[in-house]
Amino acid sequence: MKAEYINPFLESAKIVIEQVAQVRPSTGTLGVKDVKFVENYIWIQIGLNGQLNGDIVLGLSEEVAIKMVSAMMGGFAISEMDEMGKSAISELGNMISGNASTMLFNQGVRVDITPPKVLHSAQSAGFETKKALTIPLIMDGIGELDIQVLIAS
């Protein structure tokens, strides 16, 4: 697992969040931790196939997801993660992964990405606990988005 694989996702997430939520995220500390899927979280799973195989998982608490969707909708406050909210979070994952795959391509890494899957419960994730490179993005007034990279090769 190489730390440079997380950088395109980190850079892409910062760019996309600034564009759609009008907030410039700051970067937390890179680390390795056990990925544990907990309740009251929204998970965006993006599969990687090609020169890299594995998953990128973006995790945010339901409270942060609601604030993010509200920011994406120009400040229109939502109170729960309904289908519209899940669609907005899925699109956020799509934009981040699309930009990141372009960055990887420009670095000579050929990879295909799967459409993002939005998982609203730990059980539906179906993942076993495993180690991942992780880095939080801290968004003023919104909260944290964890970027977790689980790469097999």
pLDDT reading at 12 higher than 90? yes
Res 152: pLDDT: 56
Confidence of residue 19 (pLDDT cuts 50, 70, 90): very high
Res 82: pLDDT: 87
- Judge residue 7's burial from the number of C-beta atoms within 10 Å of its C-beta, 0-12 exposed, 13-18 middle, 19 or more buried: middle
Angle between helix axes 7-21 and 62-72 (nearest 10 degrees) is 60
Average pLDDT of the segment spanning 148-153 = 67
Angle between helix axes 83-106 and 7-21 (nearest 10 degrees) is 130
Greater model confidence, 26 or 150: 26
The DSSP bridge partners found for residue 45 are: 57, 117
Question: Among residues 80, 67, 40, 49, which one has the least CA distance to residue 138?
Answer: 67
Average pLDDT of the segment spanning 25-38 = 81
Average pLDDT of the segment spanning 20-33 = 88
CB 132 within 8 A of CB 32: yes
Cα 45 from Cα 66, distance rounded (Å): 18
Confidence of residue 17 (pLDDT cuts 50, 70, 90): very high
With helix as H, strand as E and coil as C, how does 99-149 read?
HHHHHHHHCCCCEEECCCEEECCHHHHCCCCEEEEEEEEEECCCEEEEEEE
pLDDT tens per residue, range 38-78? 778 888 888 889 988 888 888 888 999 999 999 998 888 88
Res 153: pLDDT: 44
SS3 150: strand
Total residue count of the chain as it appears in this document: 153
pLDDT tens per residue, range 91-142? 999 999 999 999 999 999 898 989 888 887 655 555 565 677 788 999 999 9
